[in-house]
Structure 1
Amino acid sequence: MRHMSHYEKIQHVINQLNGAYAPNTLRSYYADAKSFVDWCEQRKTKPFPLVSDTVRGFIEHMQLDYSYSTIRRRLSALRRLNGLLGFEDQTFTEDVYLAIRKLKRAKCLEQRQAVGINEDLLVKMIEAQPDTLVGKRNRLLLSLGYDFLARRSELVAIRNEDLTFTQDGALKGIIRRSKTDQYGNGRLVFGSERSAKLLRKWLKLKPKEIQPVFCAINHGRCLDRAICDRQVNEIIKQGLVRVKRYPRPNDLEVSGHSLRVGAAQDLLTKGHDIAAIMRAGGWSEPSTVSRYLRFAEHNIWK
């Protein structure tokens, strides 16, 4: 690796991690490292091995534009890559520790939470979809995203064999792999009668040989590949904009997490405890779910 650029060395190390980490984690590693290398090159500073002064300066630089959680994530990624490149970590110093402490006091520690899309708004978004091939696919995506409390990556990975109609007219599914289930143990999920009806309509239109449920569509034809997870964000935002004459959040306040947040909030107001909500959404930490539920309109005095 002697004659490689810093970018090539980073990519080489990340390629060795394929299969051991989720693809999104590896993309995040590369993006975080690239940001650091770009900053170092602008200042004619050697990025690796990591040294205390350089890392402290990078933390202070990021403080202007990034949240505390983003900066901590980037620092963690850089330390991991530094070790994989064969270097000793020289950043556990008082200078770096104090920079993090100052950052922690200066920044709000709470992550910005996507606004939840609750069931009443969800129904309006589904109804507002156009009566086209894309619109019918998107109706199902919105409905299942809410019912399954699914992450973007989980939604786009769903295949025909993962869904089963139940005798009571609803739907049962399996999420085979997720952010908190990297080894593919899977989790059982359930869908509403609304989702079951939308799925039946969609399966009549989508060719049987195409396995991804949420397949890409081009010029009115279904393609034999799934949409990318970033497209889920766009579908949610566009679906929100289509809703007229109904109270709704700004499209900038929602994300691919909004269906998941809204469903968790609705489960709380319906009386389900946090253990049931965690199981439904595949959460491993109660603290994560608690952040989702902070703004649930759940008046315990009524």
Structure 2
Amino acid sequence: MNDSSNPPKRPRGRPRKLVEPKAPRYPALAFSEERRLLDQLRKQSAASHPGHDATVTVSDLATLAEQPKPGVPASIAMPTGRRLRFELDDSQRAVAAGYVAERAELGITGLAPNSRRGLASDWLNWLAFCMHTGATVLPTEFIDLKRFIDMLVAGERKKATIEHHVWAITEVNRRYGCPDPMASELARDYWRDLLRDRLHGEQKQATGLGLDQVEQMVAMLRDPDLDLPARHAKPEDQAAVVEAQRRRALRDAALINAAYDLAMRSAELVAIRWDRIFRDPDGSGAYRVGKSKTDQLGQGQLRYLRPETMADLEAWQAVAGPSPFAFHRVLEHNADHQPIQSSDATERLIWPTLTTREIGVIYKRAARLIGIESPTFSGHSTRVGATQDLIESGGTTEEAQQMGGWRDGRMVARYAERPLAKRAGQGRFGKLAKHRNS
């Protein structure tokens, strides 16, 4: 019975938008459920976390599979009758144990953090496949690896993804002193057939943001009269919301200009520090790039910053707060001016940076201001655009390599495929025309 004296309360805030769920990027693999279970087991284990490499993950998950540790919920226990099966002898186990112990004692990782995470992720897929099919995890047999690869191909995974999985599996076999499952002539013939008949090396490329687009985007962000969308807030918080949007526009203008000038990878861009930016008397500047994907030794490289970029960096620095990192989240009431507590057990304070995913979001948001919509903007869009601009203006592949910090010209050829093809075609037909008129 309804009580008219106490009407139901209306929900506060804006009504939620009904968003249709996105279709999955790839079809689900047959072992997806096993992968989910193993991922949960890994997170529950104190000895195995995302920072560990695949060798540690193997040992820990093998133990969990046979004798689940206390505290692991029954809801993520191994399915009945499914176990990770190993056929390692004592000498092979000793090889892996010695390898892990020596690396820990000497403080050696061997791989960059992203490479270790990729290795562990690919290895978990192999473990899930073995659990699903009953295949032996280690030593890995070629016939089982072939079935795994065929399953990835049927699941529309790309050539680069499959190559990375094969590398991960052979790498862990090597660490355990097991033979390489892809070393046989039969395996090599299979791989050649696969590349010829079923796989291709084409990859989607991020949409490039050239200097013309960058200048238009930055001009809009600099406009003090730009009407930026702000969230609904209480009247007393409205001023803080508007101020945060103004600071965010200054940050985005500086970030987009710096990203184009430095032609950086998104992971390098979010790690930019104020103390590595240098100003020259003419108003231009430079940034000293430290360790990178292609400079693991950290020998460094100076890269040029335009006067316009330096001006935007200085405008942003004036309101950015005390963080040593140039680019970070902008929070209301200047909450981003304070470090946060680390999530580990050290109780240290850290200054968080933007994530690489947020770089692509910033580009898309700024591009919409000038009427550009593209689903393929990513954190590398300015890197692609800078490479294309250089080649179109007559620059050489070697100059592009130096600009982007590439070891060779392979990525330059990929990013600037269209202008390079145009240059080659114009040169070819120019020579033909000259020959005809001679």
Match of 2:149 in 1: 59
2:148 counterpart of 1:25: no
1:167-246 → structure 2 map (5 Å cutoff): 167-207=281-321, 209-219=322-332, 220-222=334-336, 223=338, 224-244=351-371
Match of 1:290 in 2: 413
Structure 1 residue 100, shift from structure 2 partner: 1.8
Structure 1 residue 190, shift from structure 2 partner: 0.7
Distance 1:296 1:117, change over 3 A: farther
Rg (Cα) greater in structure: 2
Structure 1 residue 19, shift from structure 2 partner: 4.3
Mapped partners of 2:281, 2:131: distance in 1: 62
Letter in 2 for 1:226: T
Distance 1:41 1:239, change over 3 A: farther
Letter in 2 for 1:91: M
Is the contact made by 2:257 and 2:309 (CA closer than 8 Å) also made in structure 1?
yes
Structure 1 residue 299, shift from structure 2 partner: 4.9
Mapped partners of 1:137, 1:55: distance in 2: 48
Structure 1 residue 21, shift from structure 2 partner: 1.9
Letter in 2 for 1:155: L
The one-character-per-residue Cα deviations of 1:94-126 (angstroms, maximum 9, x if unpaired) are 443233223212222233222211111122333
The one-character-per-residue Cα deviations of 1:156-210 (angstroms, maximum 9, x if unpaired) are 1111111011122112011101110111111111111221111010110022x32
Match of 1:74 in 2: 165
Structure 1 residue 75, shift from structure 2 partner: 0.7
Structure 1 residue 284, shift from structure 2 partner: 0.5
Letter in 2 for 1:240: A
Ranked by relative contact order (alpha carbons within 8 Å, sequence separation 6 or more), the top structure is 1
Number of residue pairs aligned between Structure 1 and Structure 2: 296
1:1-302 → structure 2 map (5 Å cutoff): 4-6=60-62, 19-64=109-154, 65-105=156-196, 106-129=198-221, 130=228, 132-207=246-321, 209-219=322-332, 220-222=334-336, 223=338, 224-244=351-371, 248=372, 250-296=373-419, 299-300=422-423, 301=426
- Greater displacement, 97-106 / 161-170: 97-106
Structure 1 residue 241, shift from structure 2 partner: 3.3
- Greater displacement, 112-121 / 184-193: 112-121
Match of 2:53 in 1: none
- Per the alignment, in what secondary structure is the counterpart of residue 287 of structure 2? strand
Letter in 1 for 2:172: L
- Per the alignment, in what secondary structure is the counterpart of residue 5 of structure 1? helix
Is the contact made by 1:50 and 1:91 (CA closer than 8 Å) also made in structure 2?
no
- Per the alignment, in what secondary structure is the counterpart of residue 174 of structure 1? strand
Structure 1 residue 36, shift from structure 2 partner: 1.7
TM-score (norm 1): 0.88
- Per the alignment, in what secondary structure is the counterpart of residue 263 of structure 1? helix
Distance 1:3 1:72, change over 3 A: closer
Identity level (%)? 24
Structure 1 residue 285, shift from structure 2 partner: 0.9
Mapped partners of 1:3, 1:211: distance in 2: 39
Distance 1:252 1:69, change over 3 A: same
Distance 1:101 1:3, change over 3 A: closer
Letter in 2 for 1:243: I
Calculate the aligned-residue CA RMSD, in Å: 2.8
Structure 1 residue 127, shift from structure 2 partner: 3.6
Mapped partners of 2:143, 2:422: distance in 1: 50
Is the contact made by 2:170 and 2:181 (CA closer than 8 Å) also made in structure 1?
no
Unaligned runs of 5+ in 2: 1-55, 66-95, 222-227, 229-244, 339-350, 431-438
Mapped partners of 1:265, 1:58: distance in 2: 38
Mapped partners of 2:220, 2:164: distance in 1: 38
The one-character-per-residue Cα deviations of 1:123-151 (angstroms, maximum 9, x if unpaired) are 23334444522222122111111110000
Letter in 1 for 2:257: S
Is the contact made by 1:56 and 1:95 (CA closer than 8 Å) also made in structure 2?
no
Mapped partners of 1:110, 1:235: distance in 2: 27
Mapped partners of 2:422, 2:151: distance in 1: 43
Distance 1:226 1:92, change over 3 A: same
Mapped partners of 1:230, 1:153: distance in 2: 9
Structure 1 residue 8, shift from structure 2 partner: 8.0
Match of 2:82 in 1: none
Mapped partners of 1:7, 1:37: distance in 2: 13
Mapped partners of 1:133, 1:8: distance in 2: 49
Mapped partners of 2:64, 2:363: distance in 1: 36
Structure 1 residue 22, shift from structure 2 partner: 1.4
- Greater displacement, 289-298 / 263-272: 289-298
